[in-house]
Amino acid sequence: MEIKLSPLTPVHVWSGDVLVVGYDIVVKDGDACIVDVNQLPTEVIEKVADDLAPLDRYADKVKCSRVLKLRSDLSSKLVYDISPWYVPASTLKGYIRTALLYKWLGERQDAMRLIEQAVKQDRRPIGSLLEDRLMRMRSPRVDVMQSLRIWETKAKAETAIVDIHVKRLPSLSSVAKVSAVALVGGELRYGIELTPFRPKVRGQTEELANAIKLLEKLPHLGVDHIREALRQFGCRLLENEIEQAKRHKKLAPYVEALEKWRSKYCKADEACVIARMGRMTGIYSKTVISIIREKMPDVYEMLLEKHFHKRHDFNTLKLVEIDGRQLGVGWCEICLT
């Protein structure tokens, strides 16, 4: 089995490294050159050491370890670098985990009771407590996600430095701007393997039989389950973003794009689904808080006050400019084959 991921808008998963414009990055022939510091000419090293001059003065003499398309004015001076695998398998698996939790929580008749129990526990994150109830068992120690293995296989990626603008709603005024290396085109491929539970249980046959009965109560994974969970979660993210984008008329082109994606990807028989991953994609894409908002509005408001002090995440959009349109960052297509 295989997963294919293609970006619909720029996707940025931070590597942990920050590039400095003028030193790590110089502009050559209209593109961004990531300087290969291991191949700097001696004369350039000496001049930089003497007067701390930026390397962009010697752009014609430096070699590039990477050449990126430039969709930024580089005015921020700092650029967040992308993960070496663009969207790592661990990031994809984490997103799938959140989607499955969203789906299973939505199917539980006792969902509100589970949420209330999680909210009352102050010592651990709510998401972890819900995962314990729906995805894990302590004896024998089993996590349903142990059945799912994902690994990177092949990447044909196009990257560029883009500016991500944080805009406040409803005024659409600028709050901040972040420059980052993002995946803007191409396709990433991953291997995916589903294996049955093999609990390590010592003791009598009766003990093993009881353990298996307990395991049967855990949700079972399958490609169809994963695809449906991703579809439900991705379409919920679309609905949330449409609601936000409609708050300003200048975002009409973005609303049009979102509604077009909804028409395409939210059909039950569609093989591919929409997802939103990476940095600056908001709390909705990383948690199941949207289902709490849907089922328990009072608890949702309490959570905003208690756990999400930075409420600006719910009153801002993170946008990139593409062909004159402002579109949200992090949208991508996922196909399971």
d(CA 257, CA 242): 10
**Could you tell me the pLDDT band of residue 104, with boundaries at 50, 70 and 90?**
confident
DSSP state of 116: H
Start-to-end Cα distance in the chain: 6
pLDDT in tens, 115-173: 766 666 656 566 666 666 666 666 556 666 777 889 999 999 999 999 999 998 889 99
Residue 212's pLDDT is 61
pLDDT in tens, 8-57: 999 999 999 999 998 889 898 889 999 888 887 777 777 766 666 677 77
In this predicted structure, the answer to whether residue 200 has a pLDDT above a threshold of 60 is no
pLDDT in tens, 244-290: 999 899 999 999 999 999 999 998 888 899 999 999 998 888 887 77
Q: Would you call 94 exposed, middle or buried from its count of C-beta atoms within 10 A (0-12, 13-18, 19+)?
A: middle
d(CA 104, CA 66): 43
Residues 6+ apart with CB under 8 A from 194: 1, 147, 148, 149, 221, 222, 223
Residue with tokens 């209330």: 116
d(CA 61, CA 335): 43
- Cis peptide bond prior to 140, omega within 30° of 0: yes
- Mean pLDDT for the chain? 83
Query: What SS3 class is residue 133?
Result: helix
Q: Yes or no: say if 320 and 177 are a contact pair by the CB < 8 Å rule.
A: no
Residue 128's pLDDT is 65
Cα–chain-centroid distance for residue 15?
A: 13
Query: What SS3 class is residue 247?
Result: coil
